[in-house]
Amino acid sequence: MKKSIRTFLKHPTKDLANRSANPPVIRASTILFDSMQELYQHEKKIKNHQRVSHYSYGRYGSSTTIELENILKELEEAYHVFLTGTGFGGIALALMSICRPGDEILVSDNVYGPTKEISSKLMKDFNINAKFYNPDSFEDLKNKITKQTKMILVENPGSNTFEFQDLSKITKLAKKKKIYTLLDNTWGTPLYLKPLNLGFDMSFCSATKYFSGHSDAMGGSLAVNKKVYKKVMFFYKLSGYRMSADEAYLIIRGLRTLDTRLKQHGENTKTVINFLKKHKKIKEILYPHNPSSKNYKLWKKYYSGATGLLSIVIKSEKKASVIKFVNSLELFGIGYSWGGFESLAILQEIKSSKKDEYLKGRQFYRFDKDEYIVRLHIGLEDPVDLINDLKKGLKKIH
C-alpha cells in the first residue's frame, strides 16, 4: 500500500522480535558471522549497495544507525544517507570526500560560521581555495567559476540573514560546468524541500535540529546521489565519521513527530511575526514565508512549508539595550542551536566586513552601525505567551 510521508514517519521501524513499537539500540564494534564465506558475501552486498540489516564492522554503524539511514533515505529520496556524530561533521564529510589539492570551492557568503572556517581555513592547508559569492547575485556566482571550481556550497536560506537563492538555476549551471553541488537544508528539512530532486549532488541536514526536535541529541546527515556515493563512502569508511547507536535512536524518535512539530513551529511563527511586524523598534523581519519579504517568491517556488527560525533587525543606539532585551526574555532560552521544542533568542555578532575579514562578518550584506540582528527560534509554546514575553522585552530597547 502506498503511504504518505506523514504515515511513513509513524511506522518506519519496530522491534518485532521483542514486540516493541521502537527499534532496539544496538551498540557494537565486532559483528559476528557464521563463516568466512558469509562475511565475504556480506561485504560484497555492502560494496554493491544492497540493503543490509547490519554492517561488517562497528566503525561503519550498527543496526540502529542503518534504521535511521533507511528512514532518511526515504525522506530525502536519496541513493544513500551517511550519518555523522555532529551536524558539522556532515559538512566536513562532504568537503573531504570531494575536494582535492588544487581545487576551488565556491561558497555562499551567508553560510554557517564554522562552514566558512573549514572551507577557507582548513581546506587552505590542503591547497584547496574557497571563494565566497553574493547569495543575492546569481551573476556573481557565475562569474567566479573557473576551471578549478570543484564544488558549489549553498546554504538556503542563509544563516541568520535568510537570503534565498534560485536553486534550480544553480544546479543547472553546475551540471553544465561539471561541478559538484552541496546544499545545507537544515532550515527546511527534506520534509519541505528535497534538494536531490532539484539536481543537487548532496543534501546536508544537522540532525541535531529538527530531526531530533528535543535538544538532547547531536548528529548530521548527508544524503547523496549515485554519482558521488563511492567518493563519500571511501572517506566515510576511513574517517570514522559515524553516529552512535544511542544518538540514532533518539533521532528516530524525533522523526516520528517531525511533520506535526514543523507544522506547529510554522503556525506559531506566523502568529509571532504578525505581532513583530507592527512593532516600531523592529526595522526588518528576516523570514522568507513573510509575504513582505523579498525572498517570498523564491520560498514559494521551492518549499512546501516554513519552519520556526527567523531573525529580526533591531535599530538601537546602544548595543547594551539590545542585550537587555534578550536577557529579559523569560520563555526564550539563550543558547546556541535551535530546532527543539523550546523557544530561543540570541544576539548575532554579524557586521558588514571587508573582503579580507569575511570570517568576522559578511562581504555582501550591508548593516548600519545602529542595526543589530537577534535570531529567534519560535518553539512549541502558546504563541500568545511568546508575544507577551517579547512585548515586555522590547521595552528595554532604546
Say which residue the cell 534550480 belongs to: 168
How confident is the model over 32-41, as a mean pLDDT? 94
pLDDT at 84 over 90: yes
- pTM for the model stands at 0.93
Long-range contacts at 379-383 (CB < 8 A, ≥ 24 apart): 379/265, 379/268, 379/308, 379/340, 379/341, 379/342, 379/343, 379/344, 380/261, 380/264, 380/265, 380/268, 380/341, 380/342, 381/268, 381/331, 381/342, 381/343, 383/267, 383/268, 383/271, 383/272
pLDDT band (50, 70, 90) for residue 294: confident
> What is the full DSSP assignment across 152-200?
EEEESSPTTT-----HHHHHHHHHHHT-EEEEE-TTTHHHH--GGGGT-
Mean pLDDT of the chain, nearest integer: 92
Residue spans of the domains in the chain: they are 5-27+62-255, 258-394
pLDDT, residue 364, reads 76
Share of the chain above pLDDT 70, in %: 95
**Distance between CA atoms of residues 22 and 18, nearest Å:** 10
How confident is the model over 105-126, as a mean pLDDT? 93
**Distance between CA atoms of residues 331 and 342, nearest Å:** 8
Phi then psi for residue 331, to 5 deg, are -95, -10
Tens of pLDDT, residues 170-213 = 999 999 999 999 999 999 999 999 999 999 999 999 999 999 99
pLDDT, residue 17, reads 62
pLDDT, residue 377, reads 98
Does the 5-27+62-255 domain belong in CATH 3.40.640.10? yes
Phi then psi for residue 12, to 5 deg, are -80, -30
pLDDT at 358 over 70: no
How confident is the model over 106-126, as a mean pLDDT? 92
More confident residue, 214 or 362: 214
pLDDT band (50, 70, 90) for residue 126: very high
**Distance between CA atoms of residues 258 and 110, nearest Å:** 26
Pairing of strands 351-352, 361-362: parallel
DSSP-derived letter for residue 311 is E
pLDDT at 16 over 80: no
pLDDT at 108 over 60: yes
Phi then psi for residue 300, to 5 deg, are -65, -30
pLDDT, residue 295, reads 84
**Distance between CA atoms of residues 222 and 243, nearest Å:** 12
**Distance between CA atoms of residues 278 and 291, nearest Å:** 14
pLDDT band (50, 70, 90) for residue 148: very high
User: What CATH code is assigned to 258-394?
Assistant: 3.90.1150.10
**Distance between CA atoms of residues 145 and 68, nearest Å:** 36
* Max Cα-Cα span within the chain: 74
User: For the stretch 288-313, what's the b/e string if a residue is b when 16 or more beta carbons lie within 10 angstroms of its beta carbon?
Assistant: bbbeebebeebbeebbebbbbbbbbb
Phi then psi for residue 304, to 5 deg, are -100, 0
